Amino acid sequence: MKKTGAWLAAYALEQIGVKYTFGIPGVHNTELYDALNNLDSLEPILVTHEGGGSFMADAISRTTNSIGTLAIVPAAGLTHAMSGIGESYLDGIPMLIISGGTRTDSGRYFQLHQIDQVKVADGITKAAFKVTNHNEIVPTIYKAYEIAMTGCPGPVLVEIPVNLQLFQGEVKDLPKFDPSVLEQKKPAINDQEIDQAVEILMNAKRPGIYVGWGAVDAVEITKEIAELLEAPVATTLQGLSAFPADHPLHTGYNFSSCSVPASEKAFADVDAMLAVGVRFAELATVSYSVNPPKNLIHIDIDPEVPNKNYPAKVAIIADARDAMSAILQKLKEKNHQKSKATQGLRELIAKEKKAYRQEWTAKKQKDKVSPGHFFEKLRKILDRDSYLVVDDGNHTFLTAELFDVYEPRHFISPTDFNCMGYAVPAAIGVKLSHPDKQVVSVVGDGAFLMTCMEILTASTHNLGVVYFVFHDGELAQISQLQQVPLNRKTCTILGDIKLSGIALATGAEYMEMSNDDQVEQVIHDALKTAERGQPVIVDVKIDYSKKTKLTKGAVKVNLGRFPLGEKVRFIGRAIVRHVFQ
């Protein structure tokens, strides 16, 4: 049979269950877009910038069972999209990038957009392919999907030259995708390693659990193990939704001196740790401030992860659900009894959480919005299963410490790639795929400016996303880091932004939140407007004067690692500048 490459690509994407593609059509993928438009099961979404499209695709993969997919032009389309591709690569999020390519049948050189895309993508993708004939298109897309979804997930690129898309070619057959191949790729459970892990947990007086994004689909199993062991549970930033914040054994983000008091105190005497779906990365551990016990059980699907930053007594390379299920079954079989040393743990956690929140809500502001009151009211008003999307900045760590996440995959953020500009388009991707759920974003003004025009896409598709823009006129996280040691702010003061103008330009509703007395009413009004399918920009006059436990701890930890001479120089310079300048 004869089929165009564009038809074959659309067929393959439909087979693997792609619901949306994101990108901008051009001369090298017009035929592909026409083929996609013929499908009832897939909708191509036009974005204002491929970078925004890649963040939307990332969000689709994080919050649905479908893979986020790009349909982009070669060269500039790829380079524009690389921020989101890099985010998915370092955060372990599957993504499929279908790119057009220059002609391979003309014999001409110096064509429009002619670059080696496979070479460009090397380093931020798990794999990259350039198909050479029609018979390769469907199997290559299936292979790319398989690679993206198995092992440590990540992005995969497939380039389809424009001449293959345009012209018909002979194909032998049209294979259907077999989803069982994904299950077959899972690592097998090693029973001996499971037994070793269970023995460590059984003998521990004060076990603890640390979960990340890799454990986000094992929440119920984690709860059972935590309750059997009476173990405190801390999460990574990316894994905030991997354990419900209203569970009495939940402590918070991180478990070091840089974490909230509930985590720091609950994990102080932990003598065995079950770490699941975590990489002990810099952001997750707040500059490697954690000190896991020697009896560390590390579960991860990526064999490159365990023993990288902290030695594991037992390293289990497996899917989190599979490994945790095996551990839970063994603990039940052995009729494990809780250690007496864990008595009073739940009361300690509840007491410390309450005290820390009271620190942030002790006073009401009359001329600004205090983070404590904002997040308290936001959590109270939002539905339990609402989605929250954040960006990179001061607001990220305030959210991590002050907002409770209850449902798995209902909180997403840029993490190890840590790319500013993520939240605006990512929230659109979430709302597009969950139209019946509340979707809100908390984003700093600097990060908002990077991708704010993408709100036009939300307006075009009647997507009622609420953007709470923490507006202080600075790149707050960095400007604060500059102010303390340097007593000056270089290139961190933003221009005089009129957020109302951005709302007008993109079709969003504009609202102001100027003090704590307005917080509750404005949140209600914003959500009500969003229900009508209109995006909302809320201009939040935020007060960043109070530092998070994480920010204060990270500064102390990093300064403490400086060589003595450099430490004296930095402290001396800070004193001179603050006293004499």
* Each residue's pLDDT tens digit, 250-296: 999 999 999 999 999 999 999 999 999 999 999 899 899 999 999 99
| Residue 229 reports pLDDT greater than 80 | yes
Percent of the chain whose predicted confidence (pLDDT) is above 90:
84
Mean pLDDT of the chain: 95
How far is Cα 225 from Cα 209, in angstroms, rounded to an integer? 9
- 527 and 465 Cβ atoms separated by less than 8 Å: no
Write the CB contacts of 413 (distance below 8 Å, at least 6 apart in sequence): 237, 238, 240, 389, 390, 391, 392, 396, 399, 422, 423
Length of the chain equals 581
pLDDT of residue 127: 98
- Residue 216 clears pLDDT 80, i.e. is over it: yes
Angle 5-15/30-37 helices, nearest 10 degrees? 50
Q: What is the DSSP letter of 547?
A: P
- Tell me what pLDDT residue 20 has: 98
> What is the tens place of the pLDDT at every residue in 100-153?
998 888 888 888 788 999 999 999 999 999 999 999 999 999 999 999 999 999
CATH number listed for the domain at residues 361-546: 3.40.50.970
Task: Read off φ and ψ for residue 538, nearest 5 degrees.
Answer: -105, 120
For the stretch 90-110, pLDDT in tens is 999 999 999 999 888 888 888
3-state helix, strand, coil in the chain (%, to 5): 45, 15, 40
Per DSSP, the chain holds a count of helices (H) and strands (E) of 23, 20
Residue with tokens 């993928």: 29
Q: Delimit the domains of the chain by residue range.
A: 2-184, 191-349, 361-546, 555-580
Express each pLDDT in 355-406 by its tens digit.
999 999 999 999 999 999 999 999 999 999 999 999 999 999 999 999 999 9
Fold of 191-349: Rossmann fold (3.40.50)
Residue 76 pLDDT class (50, 70, 90 cuts): very high
116-124: Cβ within 8 A, 24+ apart: 117/74, 117/75, 117/78, 117/157, 117/159, 118/157, 118/159, 120/78, 120/79, 121/78, 121/85, 121/97, 121/157, 124/82, 124/85, 124/86, 124/89, 124/155
Q: Is the pLDDT of residue 475 over 80?
A: no
* Whole-number pLDDT of residue 488: 77
Q: Looking at residue 557, what is its pLDDT?
A: 82
Indicate whether 493 pLDDT > 80: no
Give dist(CA 345, CA 131) in Å, integer.
58
Q: Is 580 a residue whose pLDDT tops 90?
A: no
- Each residue's pLDDT tens digit, 426-437: 999 999 999 999
Helix (H) or strand (E) holding 465: none
Quick one: fold of 2-184?
Rossmann fold (3.40.50)
Q: What is the pLDDT of residue 417?
A: 92
pLDDT tens across 292-351, in order?
999 999 999 999 999 999 999 999 999 999 999 999 999 999 988 888 889 999 999 999
pLDDT at 482: 66
Q: Do 361-546 and 2-184 fall under one CATH topology?
A: yes
